[in-house]
Chain A
Amino acid sequence: EAGVVQSPRYKIIEKKQPVAFWCNPISGHNTLYWYLQNLGQGPELLIRYENEEAVDDSQLPKDRFSAERLKGVDSTLKIQPAELGDSAVYLCASSTTGFHEQYFGPGTRLTVT
């Protein structure tokens, strides 16, 4: 069984530029999550999708962050414009419905210069 796939693995951009991250969850997993992990800390949830619907986006900074999950499979997380403080690892995870264990992708390390 293929795991959660994320791309790119690394991204370096200048501040004020846009950036997008892509995630393909495990086949059959209806729930998809985006987490932000700052250096030396545990991940924090940005947004959770149940199929196509964003059911928890309370921690997503909506002035510059946006996300979509078209057709309830792949998802894209976008930042526009990026700020220096956005440098972090962005993790995608998926699970079956029912809030059980979540399976994570390898993450995207974003560096904003």
Chain B
Amino acid sequence: AQTVTQSQPEMSVQEAETVTLSCTYDTSESDYYLFWYKQPPSRQMILVIRQEAYKQQNATENRFSVNFQKAAKSFSLKISDSQLGDAAMYFCAFNQGGKLIFGQGTELSVKP
């Protein structure tokens, strides 16, 4: 069965600094999608970034980028120039046949 593991329950970063959130997954499939979602206290799950497994190039969205290592089944999220509004729970997710499998989440706090 596919699983997603986020080994960092909590992370902290200073405003304007860079932070990396880790995610590993397990699958026997070769074609799939990976996502990072942000969930602030309002509970709204917001899509941050997505990566197609067949693409070697790492996805980037403004201050957010990923380091996708397919062989290692690793999918980390880097947030550059962290802002107070980045504070939230971050979930890594794997798309298995239309169903998103989520990790346990990493709670990110941003210190001013």
Residue numbers of A with Cβ under 8 A of B are 31, 33, 35, 40-45, 48, 55-56, 89, 91, 93, 99-107, 109
Contact = CB atoms under 8 A, between A and B. Distances in A.
A106 B41 CA distance: 11
What does DSSP make chain A's interface, helix, strand, loop or mixed? strand
A109 B41 CA distance: 12
A91 B42 CA distance: 12
> Taking each of A48, A56, A91, A101, which has the highest tally of chain B beta carbons within 10 Å of its own beta carbon?
A101
Contacts of B50: 100-101
State the main secondary structure of chain B at its contact with A: strand
- Interface size on B, as a range, is 20 to 34
B47 A43 contact: no
B100 interface: yes
Given A42-B91, A42-B105, A102 B100 contact: yes
Interface in B34-54: 35, 37, 42-47, 50
B17 to A, nearest CB: 26
A35 B37 CA distance: 14
Interface of B: 4, 33, 35, 37, 42-47, 50, 91, 93, 95, 97-100, 102-105
A22 to B, nearest CB: 16
Q: Which 3 A-B pairs have the closest CB atoms?
A: A42-B102, A104-B45, A99-B98
Contacts of B102: 42-44
Contact of B104 (A35, A41, A93): A41
B104 A42 contact: yes
Contact of A99 (B4, B33, B93, B105): B33
A48 B45 contact: no
Given A42-B4, A91-B43, A106-B44, 15 more contacts: A41-B105, A42-B91, A42-B93, A43-B91, A45-B100, A48-B98, A89-B43, A91-B45, A93-B45, A99-B97, A100-B50, A104-B37, A104-B45, A104-B46, A106-B43
